[in-house]
Amino acid sequence: MFGSMTRFALVGGSNTLVGFAVILLGIKLLGMNDFAANAIGYLIGFAWSFGLNRRWTFRHSGAPTSALGRYALVCAVSYALNIVVLMEMRSALPTAHIVPQLGSGVTYSVAAYFGSRYFAFRPQTGSGVART
């Protein structure tokens, strides 16, 4: 499990860099507005993280199309949890900004990891592949 956690964290870091690079390129080189560049950056980041998490992090050998829907659901639920935690922490700490953002970010990451491992890229029965 710790191997897949490390790979998940590395994919997350690379996803952040790729998505942010696309956003900056869209704004600076293509003259896109912030919202369009952000949407494209997030879409490319989503595809990047789906592909790497599917094949490298969780070594999923099932159909990519069924995993894609489950992964999108995991990301949506993780984001919703992130927002709930952010709102609750901001309510409890009204002058704080960093701590609530960190708490909600950790919530997203933990939910996304376990949702990905046990739902989106769940082990294939009878595959004989050990997962770490």
Length of the chain: 132
Say whether pLDDT at 125 is over 80: no
Residue 130 in domain:
no
Q: What is the CA radius of gyration of the chain?
A: 16
pLDDT at 123: 80
Say whether pLDDT at 115 is over 70: yes
Say whether pLDDT at 23 is over 90: yes
- Kindly state the percentage of the chain with pLDDT values over 90: 87
Say whether pLDDT at 25 is over 80: yes
Residue 131 in domain:
no
User: How many folded domains does the chain comprise?
Assistant: 1
* CA atoms of 126 and 80, how far apart (whole Å): 33
Residue 108 in domain:
yes
Say whether pLDDT at 68 is over 80: yes
Residue 110 in domain:
yes
B/e letters for 62-101, b = 16+ CB within 10 Å, e = fewer, are eeeeebbebbeebbeebeebbeebbeebbeeeeeeeeebe
* CA atoms of 39 and 45, how far apart (whole Å): 10
Structural domain harbouring 71: 2-120
